[in-house]
Amino acid sequence: MNCDPLARSYRWMEYAVFGTTLQRCRCCHLQGLQNPRSALVLGDGDGRFTARLAERYPDLRIDYLDISGNMIALARRRIERANAASMQRIRFHQGDARTAALRSESYDVIAAHFFFDFFSFADVELMISRMSALAAPGAAWIVSDFELPPNRLSALWARPLLRTMYLFFRFSVGLDNQRLSDWRAPLRAHGFSSRNACRLWAGFIVSELWIRGTE
């Protein structure tokens, strides 16, 4: 799904619905990373997480991958304004995470924020398999996404909100997928285990830190 038509307004639409909650969720595990040297960020849109990641770890090399050329342009401008020196450590790639060619060296960190919810389970499984092949032993994978809260009362408002979000993306950018996909099972299958979780909005918004086993 290409968000080019929404690039300029996406940040403000996010703030209108969620305020700063999604950005807080994206960044809640930044302090828990163990001096990473290389990172892959999937679908970061206008680059808000990438900018924070580069600021927090000044020696980190980052590969940023997004399918939207307009989002990449926004991310470049944002990061250059925030910290022009960090641009030397960031490589911007335009492409589809299901097929894009990436460098073969291993990553210490992989991040996918509010990204897997755009894809079917088969696509999520494919992407996690592809990216796991590039993950170093002990690598951290951060996933932020939506999920239906376990509390039935909270699910009463979360379910229609989620449905409205999916319909919006269907009509605005032609999103085919209309349901959340399980990303935990493929992560476990590729040797990752959940170490920490941040849940907001009664569990509707979640960010989890997964670590790959070293054996």
Q: Please check the confidence at residue 104 and state whether its pLDDT lies above 70.
A: no
Domain CATH number, residue 25:
3.40.50.150
pLDDT tens digits for range 34-71: 889 999 999 999 999 999 999 999 999 999 999 999 99
For residue 172, what are the domain limits? Answer: 4-212
Q: Are the C-beta atoms of 208 and 132 separated by less than 8 Å?
A: no
Strands lying side by side in the sheet with 90-94: 90-94, 61-66, 38-42, 107-113, 135-146, 205-212, 192-200
pLDDT mean across residues, the chain: 94
Q: Please check the confidence at residue 77 and state whether its pLDDT lies above 60.
A: yes
pLDDT tens digits for range 125-158: 999 999 999 999 999 999 999 999 999 999 999 9
What is the model's pTM? 0.95
Cα dihedral across residues 105, 186, 204, 138: positive or negative: negative
Determine the Cα–Cα distance for residues 115 and 132; give it in Å rounded to an integer. 16
If one counts the domains in the chain, the total is: 1
* Residue 21, number of CB atoms within 10 A of its CB: 15
Structure tokens at 16: 């209108």
pLDDT tens digits for range 159-207: 999 999 999 999 999 999 999 999 999 999 999 999 999 999 999 999 9
Q: Are the C-beta atoms of 146 and 114 separated by less than 8 Å?
A: yes
